[in-house]
Structure 1
Amino acid sequence: ERRRNLAGNILLLCYFMFIFKYDIQVIYSIPEELSKGSLVGNIAQDLGLDLKRLKTGRARLHIGNSAEYIVLNKERGVLLIKERIDREALCKQTTPCALHFQIILENPIEFYRVTVEITDINDNAPIFKMNSMLFEISESAVRGAKFVLEKAFDSDVGINGLRSYSLNPTDNFVLKLHDHTDGEKEVEMILQKPLDREKQQEISLVLTAVDGGEPQLSGTVQIHVTVLDANDNAPVFKQSMYRASLAENSPKGSLLTTVSAADIDQGSYGLVTYSISSNSDLILDLFEIDETTGEVHLIGEVDYETSKHYQIDIKAKDHGGLTDSCKVILDIIDVNDNNPIIDLMSTTPSIPEDAKFQTVVAVMSVHDTDSDNNGVVKCFLSEKIPFTIENSSKGFYSIVTESNLDRERASEYNITVTCSDEGVPSLSSSVTLTLQISDVNDNAPVFERSSYEAYIVENNTPGLSIFTVKARDADWNQNARVSYILEDSSVNGVPVSTYVSVSADSGVIHAVRSFDYEQIKDFHFRVKAQDGGSPPLSSNVSVKILIQDQNDNAPQVLYPVQTGGSLVAEMVPRSAEVGYLVTKVVAVDVDSGQNAWLSYKLQKATDRALFEVGLQNGEIRTIRQVTDKDAVKQRLTVVVEDNGQPSRSATVNVNVAVADSFPEVLSEFTDFTQDMEYNDNLTFYLVLALAVVSFLFITCLVVIISVKIYRWRQSRILYQSNLPVIPYYPPRYSDTLGTGTLPHVYNYEVCRTTDSSKSDCKFGRAGSQNVLIMDPSSTGTMQRIQSDKSILDEPDSPLEVRLV
């Protein structure tokens, strides 16, 4: 019932301080020995936290290296006893006794400091170290003689600690208590009635120690007194208190101080021995005294962080049983023997690369159990990284981002925190935490080239792979997954998607159709590379496809024109010399390159000894002198071949009339028509054509003569009048004087070998008009400039006759 009353009187004290975000300290007070599951306090209510926040923030207790006695119930928001708490085992004689821990919340990171003070209950009775105390007292001991008794020890503190002593019986002795400044009581047994050995040689007493708890607990020890013959002087210490100091971690055997007591008695009664009368095992384990010299030595290890002061009770006793006591106060000097302790309270395993400035990635507490400068700690990061450490409050540090992060430069950081104290020499501790930088889609795909150019042979199979475009993305995972898209555009008014397609995953470009070099030689389009981020980023590249020619077109003969209903013949006079140009076979090949290089061969001829064909230019020339014996009608078959692999060819039939006059040609015409299976109406059309040509020829002569006379008269008039009058000259056509049978005039050069100054077939231009230029400074003077010569000016131009 008393424990329930104590539990009901829990004290709630809250202190608010500024920390990184929140620094709230809650203090509870509970009695020791509470049963498991007992309520400590409603922490959610006291901190003003919602129960949902405890769950979403994954609230937990951070107790550091201490034993876990308290547990957090997040469902109820209360602190409960997890393990039975024994104040004496936890804190010994230290007061106040308290548990310190923190409550950590995440998202965002928050922490609150909690202190649970453990109050003492009277669960330990006073005890004496010794089962009995033996005294030998001379009968000559005078009234008021003092005998120091061993003190009892009560592990409880405060009101529950040792309060008083009682002695029974009190016939010869009474108790006297001395209170010291440290709160302890010194117990002395005072002789109030002289002893008489002859009446009573042995006296038995009971010393009872009582504490102040409710109910009171007590402990007893037997005191056995042996009455001796007279020894009327007790030892006396020169000082009632000695003070010494000792550095912690001093070696065993170190001399602390030397105590001294004197006894003026003679003989054995004057011999003094020393002993430590402390009732604490800790004192006896750490110190010893030489019983004859009084030197106090260290036999254990002292630690400033465990205890800063020690009190050693020393007793001097003569052989007559008389005693005296003194105290040695030992001060422990701190030495910098403890490294700073770094406790990572909360860490973040990863943050995105676009995290904002001053983003918290870890919170830790740092403390050093040393004192003064030995316990002053400073923390820093050991590397040049985009993070910094900030002291959010006393003993608490936060690691925050200091600059922008870039996962493509560094995807992981090993952050090493080093904390050093200001002792001499300085001690330090380090801890390393690994932080992953998660990717953000901040890099667009980049093509391996600024532009692409690829070749494909015409007449390809649809679906053929042409080549591959490749783009890389510096991001990671889905953000680096590149897809390829054909951008909308048109080629000659047709969507480019009807020409090519691109594989979205691999970037392989396929031909959608079969290409024809003669229709399209190249085309451009653009390919876009897009990543899989959200939102996606993209870039594009220009692609040029060049169509390569195949020898898929046979040569086409332009001249002589092959007609189905008429006969074309070239006339050669019988006076023609060797090398006479009969005609020229004109052919073209719509292919390109070597596929369009043409060669001409004479396949069949009426007289192969009379004609030859130029291999490169297709010119048909005589190779001997024409004689009267040569037949009038000659028929040649010329094959035109290109240089492709395999080559393609075309044939053309050339009819040649060997005659000096038209009548001679006409006399053989009948035979021509029979050979060609023409009908009889051709004769009429031939005569009609000759009549029309003759009429036109005569008309042209009259017109030319008239124009010449007109120009001559105009020039005379201008010369006589001295007027700047520009006469009109009609245009001069290049085919006016022509007698050939070609539908148009062709100007060509012949190139038989590499040494020749002429080249292959070249189509000529119509002769230009005359240009008149008048000089203003000289009247009556005109210049005629003819820019181009007609093909009729060439001396080798053959006379051609078209027979219809």
Structure 2
Amino acid sequence: MGNEANARQLDHHPMHGVLKMSEFINALQVGEHHQQQTIQAYTEYRFAYRICASQLRPVALLQITYVLEAISSATRPTIILQNRPDVASLFTIDPQTGVVRTVESNLEPGSTHELLVIASDQGLPQPLESTAFLSVTVEKSNELRPQFDIVWLTDNGTPQIYENLTIGYVLARISVRDAKYDSELSMSGCESICMKQTDSSNVYLLIVCGVFDRELKNSYNLLFLLSSDDKVILEHPVHLEILDVNDNPPRFEHSLIRVTFNRSADQFDVPRIVATDADHEGNARIRYSILDTNVFSIEPDTGILRLQKEFDCSAGEVRFRVVAEDGGKPPLMSIVDVIADVIESNAWPPVFTKPLYEVSVKEDAEPGTCLLKYLVSAGLHWINLYPFDPYLDN
């Protein structure tokens, strides 16, 4: 599994600033406990930024490949931007994508801002972190540079698309201005998106030409390059997010599930029926219900089985069905057959309190007189036993 970090300039008017980047390693090993310390190499990012840039203009994209040997749903990286108090309000970072943007447009020409980027997971018992330094230098230039503009034709006007888009759907319109006549625009990063030039030489369309599946890949890093004479004169990366569609029903591991319900067990030792859903968030939220029995009930959110009424263990097994339904609109469901064996057994055999009992009886004792009362321990219960003597009963 490789470790990599990508940092690209997002300014529409790229400068000739220097980028120095060493490998960013964020390797976490998760076993039974989140205990592996983060492995980190020193990382430095340097960007030149135009003073004429507008407010909320992207500065850089810091992409971290998060490596886990066993990824849990509770362990996801988040990114935090820290800097000096005097520049704290100048930049912001998207905690999910790693895109750094300007907050103020009146940046001082020639100024340099040193930022500390912290990548922190949500592991237990405590989060682990790695850091990288981001240096942004503000430059002013009157040189005419190509301008790259992209308009997203999506529902919210941002690079977010649903995974069920059909082939031929137009995603975005791109225009390149003030470029040389022999300039060529290329795109990489996603084989399911094709770029087509229109009748205007400086206008392009992004068109869906393949299939998206969020369960296989939930985002893409697109890279647009404008080249002339084999030299890159403009570089513009875009983080494309794939949104979830409820296209996966809940799934059980087996088509028939057999469980054993021990009525003598404590309340924590109960069987549970579990289904999984490959979708995301609300589309993957599962609720359970039960069919064909009134002996058991099932907790809707956890799938834990509960015994509802008295049941004769000698009656054998109980057959019923469990329904798992997700939270999508419309919802999808799956049904599994369940066989439950109801038993009652103790983990501890009966134990007498003494190995030897001695008792004295008067010779004129009346028939039926109690001679000895035994107290026997049977697990969590105490059993009273009385001796039976046929001679005394007579």
Q: TM-score if structure 1 supplies the norm length? A: 0.24
Higher relative contact order (CA 8 A, sep 6+): 2
Greater share of helix residues, 1 or 2? 1
Q: TM-score if structure 2 supplies the norm length? A: 0.47
Larger Rg: 1
